[in-house]
Structures are given as structure tokens and as C-alpha cells.
Structure 1
Amino acid sequence: MKILAVNQFLKITLQIKRYTLKFLRRYQQVKFALRFFRENEILQISSKFHSSHSIHKYSKAEIIRIEPLSQEEDKLNITKQWNYLYGEYTVEQPYYYIASNVRSFPNSFLVRAQDDSYMVWEQLGGRNAVIDEHLTELLPQKLRLLGKDQPTIEVNFGVFLNTRNPNNYFHWLFDGINRLEALDEISINTKNIKYITTFSFTRWQKSILKAFGIKENQCVELNGNVGSFKELLVLSPRRNHFRYSLDNCNWLREKVRSAHKNSEPFLKSPRYSSRFIIGRKLNEGRCILNQDEVLEKLRSYGFQMYYLDELDFLEQYELFNNAEIIISPHGAGLANILFCTKAHVIEIFSDRVLPFYFLLSKTLGLSYSCIQGNIDELSAFNKRPNIYVEINLLLDLIKNSF
């Protein structure tokens, strides 16, 4: 037991060190500015920028209403902490604007005008924000000089696809690619646009871009270099923390539906079961350790198990578009409920109970239930501890779906 405790302590220490270094790397380029300005000050000054630059609004504001779960939907009462999320909220009208002659800082969300007259902070607190000349005059010289000696990539017309967690499927859909909705409102030739990231596109990200009609030669990976933009299209975020836009979700779904329709032959019968469990491998974390036993009990109800990393993007669309009942541990793969037309989502939490997919389900008009698994002691101190599921509790939720 003593050796086990020491091993767990060392593992926690290494994890803290790793995430601390990751945090410092991500924010080292902007930490100087954070010492001087609070977020609300930046946002107040951004209103001055908006009044003097051409800000184009499109679509409309929305009112979304979220109802609490019933006792049948949340048998363990684990969502009582979500009371502040219930009721109506407003999704603000989205906008875009074009910033001329700007340069990006390496490895950050910050871009600045060539003459230092203003800066644009992409996705600050889920919003765009602008720092105008009153603040840039006060910025430390060290911040202004960041990237001065870095290699520069010249771009005539670009748009950033940055997200706070670039390798996460959920954030890529709801904080990155979904902002391209604005392109349908802009009368420009999208073939001339370059899609910019500060990282390297992964294989699955390229497959999503392809589904949206974006070719590989339109993608620019800065990878620590400075981007110099003749014109940079700045798009407002379409998700504010837990708040989703239904109009934006419908736009995303329709884009992918069209891509699937054009790439796949008409199938007389679905390739996948409409009742399924999303499997996770042991090394991914949040794995249901008794998932084989769970599947065996649920086969008589028509359930199959699928691993999403074995399906490409459009296959995942097809799987979820045909779904009737979805059982899944909490994870980015549940972002695919976006593609459901009508389904009951059963989410299984491990240690943390997060409302991302509850709110997405309710925004989309889907049924939602949740339970919390029993955490495996051997992985209890991991970031994503594995779990055991009480099968009878799961069966009760399934029977309520019929």
C-alpha cells in the first residue's frame, strides 16, 4: 500500500508539472498584457473600436430556454449543481469584420496592426476583443517585440481557425469550424481565403475541412511563425461557454448532411444500429471497465458498441444521424449528437459532472439522462479516471426511453 501511495503521489506531481508547463507555454506570449489589463477593461475599449470600424452583423439574436431534468432523467440527482443554467438565455447576434495589415504573435490568439494602432484578441472569454491605441501605448516593449525576429508567412486574405484546445474534437466543431457560418453571409470568393492555425492540422481535422469544401492548399499552419495578413477576417465566436446557438447548430448539421449526401451512395438500410454504446479504450481514460458485461446485457435491446476513432467524420455523422438511444461516457465524441434528429442521450460521468452535452441536447430538443459511474481505484488520481457502471441503473433509463 505504501508503494502504491508513493507511485500515486509521483504520478500526481508529474501531472501537475506537465499541465503547469503547458499552461505557461500557451500564455507566455500574452502574460505581460494580462498584468496590465483586466478582461472587462479590454471589452469596454473594444466598443470604441467597434464604433469606428465596419462591423457586419448577420443572422439574428436567439432566445434559448433550458428546462431542468426530471427525477427519472437524473435518478442520482447529480445535476443539482446546474440550477443556475435553467431558464432563458440570449444568444447575441453574430458579427464579423475585416482587420487590415495585421500581424499575429507566435503561438497565441493575439494579432496586432502593423502600426500598433490596435490589437485583436481572438476568443477572449468566448468573445472577440480589441485593444485599441490607448492600451497598446501602455503595452510593455517586450510584448510589442514578440515575434519580431521570427520567420513570417505572408497571407493576402485569411481567417483563423484557432481554438483554446485545438486537438479536441468538441472544441474544433463548436469553437472553430462553426464560426465559418459567417462565410455564407459574405459576398467574397471563398476560394481566395486561407484558413490559418497556429498548430498543425490533424488527419481528422483535414477530413472535416474537406467535408466543408476546404482544400488542403487553402490551409496554412503557422507552427510558431508570424503571420502577416493584408486582410484578416475576424469572426465572432458562436458559443459562449455553455451556451449554444440553435441556428448555428442547424447550419453545422446541414453542411455536414450535404457533404454526406454528395459523398455516399443512397443506402436502403442503415449500416449502424440505432441503439449503441460509445466505447473508449483503456488508455483514453473514462473507459467503462465492465463494458463487455454491459454490452452483453444490452444486446437483447438491439445495442451495439462502436469506437469513434475507427470511423471517419462522415461515418460518425451517419451513425449519430440514425441514432435512437446513445450511451456514452462523457467525452468529446458526444459532440456528434449535433447530428441527431431525435434520440435519447444517456451520458455517464466519472469524477466531474459537466453540463456541455446536457445543454447541447436540450438546445437541440433531444432527450437526455445521466448517471455517474463508480470510479476505479487504480485510476482515481488520473485526469480521466475509468469507471464501472451499475447495469440495473442503466437498464432503468433505457426502459424509460421506450
Structure 2
Amino acid sequence: MATEIKAPVFPESVADGTIATWHKKVGEAVSRDEVICDIETDKVVLEVVAPADGQLVSIIKDEGETVLSDEVIAQFQEGAVSGANETQAVQSDSKVEQAAAKTEAGAAPVVERAQPVSDQAPAVRKALTESGISASDVQGTGRGGRITKEDVVNHQSKPAAQPLSVAVGERIEKRVPMTRLRKRVAERLLAATQETAMLTTFNEVNMKPIMEMRAQYKDAFEKRHGARLGFMSFFVKAATEALKRYPAVNASIDGDDIVYHGFYDIGVAVSSDRGLVVPVLRDTDRMNYAEVENGIRDYAVKARDGKLGIEDMTGGTFTITNGGTFGSLLSTPILNTPQTAILGMHKIQERPMAVNGQVEILPMMYLALSYDHRLIDGKEAVGFLVTIKELLEEPAKLILDL
């Protein structure tokens, strides 16, 4: 008897989702807890797994269709799969044996040609379409020469042997639909620029003290805590202390009310293949440096693997974004509403600086604080940024809570 496969129950903040990828076809063998479908919402990608060993009997919601919370998307049959799959396995094994026999006889090994894109799994078709790669260019490692999603990713990561050959005068375009996540990010960024009185103030920080401390203690820190000592933990802890001194920067606007938060949940902007996401470190005032570093690392891995949950990204009272990762020297970050401020880190650049009447070459970083001028005055914004600068330039004050 067939059972229903339903979409997950979405949180209140998520109205609906879109079927992004079916990883299994009708009639294909499925193992218990194996991912059979991805549903993309405007915040995260949710995975639907098989309830038991068996096969899909029918797919009710195709890729690209909108689904509601707890809506039926497929029919599932529990039990062993026989017939077509077994025949395919026998045929595949036979081909392998034939190839091995020819190799032993001195003939060149048989290399299976990748099957046409129309014959590939939905996830592979989607990956090929979005990347603009032809199925004939990818070496399939799956059964019967089939292309896997990993084959497409590996092909993309290979350096191009030579520039793309294009006929003279030919102008190439590729049109792909925006993902729901990308559209949602675009909507939020546009709303932030249109609905807030956003202003940015800048300062610079001498990173030499932090860099020297990090170089001196990073090995001992990793040995003791099992985490690498980076720069982000210093910035998170410095921002937390500055938020304590300037509560308006940690506040938000709700209609005609100002909400002052008595806790410190700092979001760390992370770039992923699906777009910009901002997972939140909770209660950073109670976290030590190792907990901050481990938290950021775990979020980065989850973002890379598409495993971030809605609970990882909800809330947040302040955000830090690091454009320096990509080489940015200066930028004006956009508010992550309803928050009223965001701190932008940038590339560490050696520059000649005047120190006690002498010119020294120092590793400097520009800091940018974008804030909502409706709530935060210039005096508070500048004071907040100067506090972060002072704490980073004298890390002993940060560690000793001075």
C-alpha cells in the first residue's frame, strides 16, 4: 500500500516553498532516510527523506512547482524493489566484465559515453542547466556512464584548458531563473535601502596587536580548544562589548516602537552557492573565543553543504560581514533589517602610518558601520566604531574586560 510523502511543516515566517530537485525517479530504489527531494524556501533549502526502504510510486509535485506546508508531494511504496533496477544492474555488471576481458586481452578499455542530458537524474539536469555545461563534456562516473551531481561540480572546478571558442561577432547569453533564496535576499536588500535612513561611517584599525597575539598563541589555542584562532572571534567579542555600551546599536524598530534587546545575538554573513545567508551566534556575551570560532566554522560547513536550518538564521540583533575575504578594501554594507546596524570588515592592507612622529608600515583594516539614522545618532555610531577600534588595538582590554 502506497503512503504519502508530504512537504515539511514550514515555520510561521515561511509561507510556501518550491520543489528544487527530485533526487529519485519513479520506480528507482530508495533507502531509508535517503534524501529524495529538496524544497527551496525564501530562507533555506529543506530536505525530504524516504520513510523506509522502497520506491517512489508517483511524483505529484514536479520541479519548479510551489508547495504549501505539509502538502502531499509524492506517493511512496515500502518494500524491496525488483524488476527494472535488477535488470539494469545485471546489464551494467555485464558491461564491466566485457570491458575487463578486453583489457586483459590487450585491447583498450571500454569507456562509456555519458548519456544525453534528458536521461540524467533531475538533480544532474538542474546542475547542468545552471552551469551551462553540456552533458557530453562531463565524464560520468555513475552506473552505465551516468553523470552524477558530483561529476558536474568536479568538472566546474577544473581549470579551462583553453579559452571558449566563439565565432567572430557571436554574442552569447544565458538566462536562468532566480532561486527563491536569491529573490528573497534581493527583496530584503532593496527594502533596507528604501525603508531606512541608512548612513555609513568609517574608521580604521591597526591589526598588528591582534596579528601578533594570534601568531604567538594560535598553536596552543588549537591544541587546547580544537579550534583555529582567527580574527572573527576578536571582532565578535569586541562588537559584543561595544553593543553593551551603546544599546541603541543593538536595538530594532517595530512600527512606532523601539525594541531594546537585553541579549547579544550576532549574525555572521556567509556566502554560499545559493546566495548570502546570515546564521546567528546566540548570546555572544556568554561565549568564549573557542566557542565563537567553532560556531562560525560549523555554520560555514553547513552553509557550504546546504544544511542551514531556519532556526540557525532567525533572530539576530546585530550583523558582521567580512568583505575582506574576497579582497574588498572598502565597502558600505547594507542593513539586515529589522536590525539597525551592521559592521563591515575588510582586507588587511599594509600602509605607511604616522606613529609618534615616525612613519611605520602597519597592517591596517578599514571598518564600516552602516546604521539606521532614524534610531542611531551620529555620535553613538562613531562612538560604537571607535570602541571596537580601541578594543582591537589593545586586545588586553578586551580580554580583561577593561
Task: Give the TM-score, by structure 1 length.
Answer: 0.23
Larger radius of gyration: 2
**Greater percentage in helix:** 1
Of structures 1 and 2, the one with the larger relative CO (CA 8 A, separation 6+) is 1
